[in-house]
Structure 1
Amino acid sequence: MTLTPTRPTPGAWPGLDAVPGGPRTAISAAVARRLFLSAIRRLPVTVHLHGEAHGLGGPEMTVLRPDEFFERLGRDGLIGFGEAYLTGAWDAEDLTPFLTVLAADVADLVPRSLQRLRALVQHRMPRAHRTTKDQTRELIAHHYDLSNDLFRLFLDESLSYSSAWFDGDPEGDLREAQLRKIDRLLDVAQVGEGTRVLEIGTGWGELAIRAAARGATVRSVTLSSEQQALARQRIEAAGLTDRVQVDLCDYRDVDGEYDAVLSVEMVEAVGAEYWPTYFATIDGLLAPGGRAGIQAILMPHDRMLATRGSFTWINKYIFPGGFLPSAQAIDEVTREHTSLRVTDRMAFGQDYAETLRRWDDTFLERADEVRRLGFDETFLRMWHFYLCYSRAGFASGYLDVEQVLLERTAG
């Protein structure tokens, strides 16, 4: 199904009610129009604007309110592009293919001759989004404390909110692929009978449950009170409360010694400023001979350097304070700040594209149930855009996801 373009309810979404105005907006809108059309004319897409089709032909989008579209794009760049979708200023019947073309060419959408001016127009991460200990819990709550019932609607029965691993079978069952992903991470970290496990980032408890079922004792830490409550319920239902404790605790405050430290798609929320602290904390908590298993979403290193410190649509609406590392960044940070080294890695980015497709399809199919939870049409468009935007990143190869094993090595 598709979502009908709808203007936001007045007052419900501050900043989306009014289109930016004034002389500066008029100038930036004119520039945005020229740059947008210049980019589109060389891309395999079709953009419908003022009754004309632009582009080389391919996935389609329609600009429904051109003035607003270019005003938002001119004033706020890619944030404005996403906001114009939220307000219904543009639409696409099949959003992901169009966004995938853009993602594949993202480094060159703006002419390279103009990219040196990026610092003059790029939004910077607000201080309120720094992932300090006194701010991180609120940042995490923005997303993960939305509603457990919302996440139940589109996730599989394992409530795994990270990439599944289909292992070459993209038609396979999603829950089985999620469990396969978890079991692989437990295997490489050698989690078994008697293993002391620390999990950084609980999710809704599936990894902790499966580790405990192997005979491990698990301490899992989270900053989401909603996730903590449901994870504890699921752990109790599995009869494993004697093996698993779930604490509301910042990773920087964890103590003890562990044979395995596991963290699935949590490093993305740490913030680049605190990557050294994150990995040094893991290093300090590992017992001699211990292993750390990390699942991380990755971006190209050159793009990471170019966008570090920037403020994006994803930051503003989905994950405040988040930033993706590169594979090279993980190697460099661990070498410079820890005794840990990467000894094994597996990339499976296309599996994430398929995972996101499943989530988005289910989310749209259950849109009426989302509405009954109290979420409005703008939220529906926001969440759909988020899932498609993310899927496009993996489908294009711009983003990847890896399971990385870290160990202390001689020398």
Structure 2
Amino acid sequence: MPVLSAPRPTPGTGQVITDSAATAQAGPRSQQGRAGELSWSGRAARQLVLRQLDQLPHAWIAWHEAGETTLLGQGHRVAGELIVEDPRFFAHVLMHGSVGFGEAFVDRWWTTPDLLNLLRTLAGSTPSSSRGSWWGRAIGWAPKQLLRWARQNTRAGSRRNISAHYDLSNEFFAAFLDPTMTYSSGLFESDGATLHDASLAKYERICRRLDLQSDDHVVEIGCGWGGFAEYAAANYGCRVTGVTISREQLAYAQQRIERAGLSERVDLRFCDYRDLTGKYDKLVSIEMIEAVGRRFLPQFFAKCSELLQPHGQMMLQAITIPDQRFDAYCRNVDFIQKHVFPGGCLPSLGAIQTAVGERTDLRLLETVDFAEDYARTLVAWRERFHGAAERIAELGFDERFMRLWDYYLCYCAAGFYERQIGLAHQHFAKPAAR
């Protein structure tokens, strides 16, 4: 990112830079953003947004608007750049907070030369308290609650929510995922590890933690495109029963298992986890719990415990929200929940442990956090996503969709880098497991 060659302002003053070198480096700006062209309400919204951004700790944001550059924040270095392209940006952000900020990017009302860096700067300013950041709180309590109610993860609701994301098309996901079609974080064991290496390393860690044996019968809740089922059956000789409620995923996964010659050992089904029956030696669920919902967490873990043999073990991979922000998070709807994962809800580690303790006899053996690996996974996905832009466009996805997904990938990566969200492997065991 270019460093602005301008006089150092007093932190937090929102000082306007008039230095010609700074203006030259600021990049293209739209004249629509000029404050003087705004209505009275628009000017008021602009002032409130700038005032709030000027409270950012630790760093400045270089704010480019109508030929002028303003440094906003309380820091001592430029850590992000934002270029206002349309004055509608201000009222939309004021009314809709962080969701509106993302929507304004999708609509190209603002741009930036480095989206990930800017979002990291903003994520790094979010306090760890339950109140969260100013821009995470938006006007409109009732509409948010109605949206949450409409997207509850009942059996029918879960099918709708999953289909809205995972049934975009297998060709779309294949354009940016690695050859294993793994749509969850990898485990990077070295600096030189590829995305494909990381996916396989993640599967291997899960198998080893479970001490997987050839005579084991494994149930996988949320089998996706069949990557783990194929890996476990091919490398450990076990039987795998996997379930998904995405028709697109199931069709792809069944075909890959047949091509791999594993049909006798792997049984993949269209089935809600709540309808599973039988007993299994091991249970795996990789980033499916985010689609369960807070209300259904106790039911999810009760079903997991019910499915396991007395000696059974379980490996869970979960994206988590800090405990101190969980309640506030559950009362709101963020950009991802509104536009990417309808019905999504990140659990906290505390919420998981409460549900496990209240409804099961499972023992927690180990928790491993590897959030940095998810940030790296998302960066790799984003690079592949941009590299496949023409292919994705040929599938019928327009520029607005591309910007939405670019924002989604950067938004999540920023959250992991700045530890606003976590990633955990949790190993559970039934009482008779040794």
Partner of 1:397: 419
Does the 8 Å contact 2:62/2:69 carry over to 1? no
Written as runs of structure 1 = structure 2, the 5 A alignment for 1:42-121 is 43-50=59-66, 51-55=68-72, 56=75, 57-65=78-86, 67-107=87-127, 121=140
Letter paired with 1:321: G
**TM-score using structure 1 length:** 0.88
Partner of 2:215: 194
Partner of 2:204: 183
Encode CA deviations 1:290-325: one digit per residue, 9 max, x unaligned.
001000011211111221131111011110010111
Q: Are 1:171 and 2:192 matched, yes or no? A: yes
Encode CA deviations 1:172-213: one digit per residue, 9 max, x unaligned.
121111111011111112222111110000111010011212
Does the 8 Å contact 2:84/2:109 carry over to 1? yes
The alpha carbon displacement at 1:109 in A equals 11
Q: For this pair of structures, how many residues does the alignment match?
A: 387
**TM-score using structure 2 length:** 0.84
Letter paired with 2:104: A
SS of the counterpart of 1:335? helix
> In structure 2, which of residues 374, 384, 388 is the aligned counterpart of residue 352 of structure 1?
374
Does the 8 Å contact 1:170/1:354 carry over to 2? no
Instruction: Point out where structure 2 has 5 or more consecutive residues left out of the alignment.
Output: 1-27, 29-38
Does the 8 Å contact 2:129/2:324 carry over to 1? no
Q: Structure 1 residues 335 and 149 mapped into 2: Cα distance closer, same or farther (>3 Å)?
A: same
Q: Are 1:204 and 2:225 matched, yes or no? A: yes
Give the number of the structure whose alpha-carbon radius of gyration is greater.
2
Structure 2 CA distance, aligned partners of 1:362 and 1:109?
35
The alpha carbon displacement at 1:379 in A equals 0.4
SS of the counterpart of 2:346? coil
> In structure 1, which of residues 261, 267, 271 is the aligned counterpart of residue 293 of structure 2?
271
Structure 2 CA distance, aligned partners of 1:330 and 1:219?
24
Runs (4+) off by over 6 Å: 108-115
Encode CA deviations 1:300-358: one digit per residue, 9 max, x unaligned.
11111221131111011110010111122211221122111211122111111111111
Partner of 2:243: 221
Structure 1 CA distance, aligned partners of 2:413 and 2:248?
26
Q: Structure 1 residues 171 and 272 mapped into 2: Cα distance closer, same or farther (>3 Å)?
A: same
Instruction: Point out where structure 1 has 5 or more consecutive residues left out of the alignment.
Output: 6-21
The alpha carbon displacement at 1:366 in A equals 1.3
Deviates most, 170-179 or 385-394: 170-179
Partner of 1:10: none
Does the 8 Å contact 1:48/1:62 carry over to 2? yes
Letter paired with 2:231: R
Letter paired with 1:176: D
Letter paired with 1:345: T
Q: Structure 1 residues 298 and 111 mapped into 2: Cα distance closer, same or farther (>3 Å)?
A: closer
Q: Are 1:407 and 2:407 matched, yes or no? A: no
Written as runs of structure 1 = structure 2, the 5 A alignment for 1:128-147 is 128-147=150-169
Structure 1 CA distance, aligned partners of 2:162 and 2:44?
34
SS of the counterpart of 2:54? helix
Structure 2 CA distance, aligned partners of 1:243 and 1:112?
47
Encode CA deviations 1:139-190: one digit per residue, 9 max, x unaligned.
00010000100111111111111111012x1331211111110111111122
Partner of 2:335: 313
Partner of 1:289: 311
The alpha carbon displacement at 1:119 in A equals 8.6
Deviates most, 200-209 or 308-317: 308-317
Letter paired with 1:146: L
Structure 1 CA distance, aligned partners of 2:71 and 2:129?
15
The alpha carbon displacement at 1:276 in A equals 0.6
Deviates most, 307-316 or 378-387: 307-316
SS of the counterpart of 2:155? coil
Structure 1 CA distance, aligned partners of 2:44 and 2:99?
14
Does the 8 Å contact 2:240/2:265 carry over to 1? yes
> In structure 1, which of residues 349, 361, 386 is the aligned counterpart of residue 383 of structure 2?
361
Letter paired with 1:331: Q
> In structure 2, which of residues 32, 38, 55 is the aligned counterpart of residue 39 of structure 1?
55
Q: Structure 1 residues 76 and 186 mapped into 2: Cα distance closer, same or farther (>3 Å)?
A: same
Structure 2 CA distance, aligned partners of 1:162 and 1:46?
34
Letter paired with 2:198: A
User: Pairwise CA RMSD of aligned residues?
Assistant: 2.6
The alpha carbon displacement at 1:111 in A equals 9.0
